[in-house]
Amino acid sequence: MSNVAYSRHDDIAVLTIQNPPVNALSLAVRQGLMAGMDQAEADSGVRAVLIVGEGRAFIAGADITEFGKTPQAPWLPDVCNRIEASPLLVVGSMHGVSLGGGLEVALAAHYRIAQPSSRVGLPEVHLGLIPGAGATQRLPRLIGVEKALDAITTGRHIKAPEALEMGIIDKVEEGDPEAVGLAYTRSLLDEGASRRAVSEMPSPQAIDWHAAYDATLKKGRGQISPAQAVRAVQASVEQSFEEGMKTERQMFMDLMKTDQREGMIHAFFSERAVGNLPELKGVEPRALQSIGVIGGGTMGAGIATAAVLAGFEVVLIEMKDEAAAAAHERIAGNLSGAVKRGKITQQKFDALTTVALTVSTNYDSLASVDLVVEAVFEDMDVKKDVFGKLDAVCKPGCVLATNTSYLDVNEIADSTSRPADVIGLHFFSPAHVMKLLEVVVADKTAADVVATGFALGKALGKTSVRAGVCDGFIGNRILATYRTAADHMVLDGATPYQIDAALEKFGFAMGPFAVADLAGLDIGWMTRKRKAPTRHADERVPTYIDRLCEQGHFGQKTGQGYYIYEKGKRGGVPNPAITRLIEEEQTALGITPRAFTDAEIVRRYMSAMVNEAAKVVGEGIAKRPLDVDMTLVFGYGFPRYWGGPMKWADLQGLGAVLSDIETYAQEDAWFWQPAPLLTKLVAEGRTFDDLNKEAAK
């Protein structure tokens, strides 16, 4: 089965790729394209070849499931060169997506036509790679170096009208891809259009390659493939096409062997697997059309914004008229941002803020909503009061959700007459921007309510992760641990600034102390006060930052925290007060500060993260290691090119990670108690990914 059908329309041969769901360029498809070209050229009277995709896409790219395995000929660059070298006129008719190798096949054609709604792109950098079938050599020849580098190093999807303007495609026309392709091919033949091999076009103009490389490397925050792509494009200028193809191939194969490629492929498949839960197989979600939101502060307004943008009717409840008006303003402000970014039109804005959104102070307005999510003050009594009212007014079957970030969802559920309808939906602020949604499943939550939580997440464009009930669920529980590891290093001699810099170099967008300033130091301060009564005697709890909070300094929102922030300036400068407070605490504790290397900082920080994550998986709070990976990547700025903390640990070797933890435990046995799951996997010679594979069976 070649997955490529051959048909003939007068003097035009048509190769139709049939490899659902997205026509990935599997071995069979590559073989089919080679055979199809041979057949067309041997088929007397054929003057042109049209390549189209069946189903919802032209071609989504190389078959990612083949990555990491021994590549099998025919290799995609050879297929592309074969297509381009044909003496026949070759046309690609694109619809849906033409990505990676899919666009490369189209670039090997002599002319390209596309549907108005179609998109093209070279997302290989999102997989830790560079285009490996000629795009780094052909695209610069077709559209110039600058535009080619923009497409290749960002991996962005380019809509057909822009692709036409850039010169990537030659024509945009609505219609059946085969029909418009045939008509376009016919017109080219009738006008005597010549073969137009992109590889035979002149080499593009050079740019300042070192500046482009350095800028791309900096922007990639440690990711290497975008910067490598600059070097591959440089070869399209400095080498012949044939030599340039060899250079691209070598770089591509080198990147294929990197941890970053493995991490990013892991992220690609995990992002899709995270919503596939055995417990949801065959479970229908409840109907969702109208959503209630309780509380119109930052979180509630963000949730309401996300919901109206996703097409839901929204009823937001506030306590008083002025708070209701302020909530409406907040939502309108969020939506005007969407207008400014071109996400919605002004008319859409008007409809969303008048028809889709109702703001009220009367709980009776919630009588017909399908799901309510509360985002009120993080206090159990306040939550129980809200749920009591919801229990009384919401219709039977309405899902009652809490946005709490750490309170016991079981306790909230048991305070109602319908615990099976209660679930946690933990959004991350700003809720209309952050991708992560923790779907927190309480002991009595009904399966279809869990399915409804995931259905809502999908409708809102979220990456939803199933979490069990514990303090902090998955993300905040793990965050508390690795933040503590950072605090311990501060007490022992590493400055907050060295730690932030080391972790930014590792790939985080921001280090933990800059993040704390952004989120607000008062949050951590409240958490430490909340946990103080149940704290273990052996716990090392730094207090220097509490001294700063007692003076009313909470980070960016007050202008002073770990850093000092000047109005109108991005970022902050180290706060001398912090250094003094740390020294005072070190003196009081009799600590002689020591030096830390960046490598040790990263190792300790990551070991604490992995150890707590292994406890979270071992206790069933997260069903699989990949759930933790997606939580940290989508909610906590974990560098995607590592695939997540569990993938990072697998790449380091779990034995090495456990050995580090056991070494650190000699200084602080309480904090560094090895996770039983980690110890077990090391003893059995298994990896976290083995657990993901077992769960998928």
Q: Give the residue from 279, 605, 345, 306 showing the smallest Cα distance to 462.
A: 306
The residues facing 423 across adjacent strands are 401
**Cβ-based nearer residue to ligand T1G, 101 or 226:** 101
- Cα–Cα distance between 400 and 82 in angstroms, integer? 59
Provide the minimum distance between the beta carbon of 98 and ligand T1G in the complex, in angstroms, as a whole number: 10
- Pick the closer one to ligand T1G by CB: 267 or 441: 267
Question: Measured between alpha carbons, how far is 223 from 217 in angstroms, rounded to an integer?
Answer: 7
Of 229 and 331, the one with the shorter C-beta distance to ligand T1G is 229
Rg (CA), the chain: 28
Closest by alpha carbon to 259, among 97, 68, 488, 99? 68
| Min CB(438)–ligand T1G separation in Å | 21
Write down the least CB distance from residue 503 to ligand T1G, Å: 28
Min separation Cβ 168 and ligand T1G, Å: 15
Q: d(Cα 33, Cα 230) in Å, to the nearest integer?
A: 30
| 41 given a catalytic annotation | no
How buried is 604 (Cβ within 10 angstroms: 0-12 exposed, 13-18 middle, 19+ buried)?
buried
Q: Amino acid identity, residue 175?
A: G
- Nearest 5°: phi and psi at 685? 70, 30
496 backbone φψ class: left, alpha, beta (φ>0; ψ -120 to 50): alpha
CB of 494 to ligand T1G, least distance (A): 39
Q: What are phi and psi of 351, to 5 degrees?
A: -65, -40
**Cβ atoms of 40 and 63 closer than 8 Å:** no
Minimum distance of ligand T1G from residue 148's CB (angstroms): 14
In three-state secondary structure terms, 50 is strand
Pick 80 or 407: Cβ nearer ligand T1G: 80
- CB nearer ligand T1G, residue 271 or residue 313: 271
Q: How far is the CB of 69 from ligand T1G (least distance, A)?
A: 13
Whose tokens are 């497409």? That residue is 151
CA distance 538 to 396: 49
Place of tokens 């600034």: 497
- What are the C-alpha distances in Å from 65 to residues 266, 269, 403, 571, 647? 11, 9, 37, 41, 18
**Which residue's CB is nearer to ligand T1G, number 394 or number 456?**
456
Q: How far apart are the first and last CA of the chain?
A: 27
Give the nearest distance from C-beta 613 to ligand T1G in angstroms. 24
Nearer to ligand T1G, 273 or 434 (CB): 273
Give me the residue label for tokens 């022992």: 492
The amino acid occupying position 617 is V
User: Rounded to whole angstroms, how far apart are CA atoms 444 and 412?
Assistant: 11
Q: Which of 41, 54, 124, 378 is catalytic?
A: 124
CB 118 within 8 A of CB 162: no
List residues near ligand T1G by CB under 6 A. Answer: 21-22, 24, 60-65, 76, 97, 99-101, 104, 123-124, 127, 129, 131-133, 272
Cβ nearer to ligand T1G, comparing 97 with 489: 97
How near is the Cβ of 14 to ligand T1G at its closest, in Å? 23
Active-site hit among 54, 84, 104, 243 = 104
Distance in Å, CB of 272 to ligand T1G, minimum: 4
> Is the distance from CB of 370 to CB of 314 less than 8 angstroms?
no
Distance CA 237, CA 231 (A): 10
Beta-carbon contacts of 468 under 8 Å, excluding residues fewer than 6 positions away, are 440, 441, 619, 620, 621, 622
**Residue 347 and residue 202: Cα distance in Å, rounded?**
47
CB neighbour list of residue 507: distance below 8 Å, 6 or more residues apart: 221, 222, 223, 638, 639, 641, 642
Q: Would residue 104 show up in a list of annotated catalytic residues for this protein?
A: yes
Closer CB to ligand T1G, 461 or 655, in the complex: 461
Give, in order, the Cα–Cα distances in Å from 248 to each of 36, 205, 600, 603. Answer: 26, 18, 36, 34
For residues 58 and 427, which CB has a smaller minimum distance to ligand T1G in the complex?
58
Catalytic sites, residue numbers: 104, 124
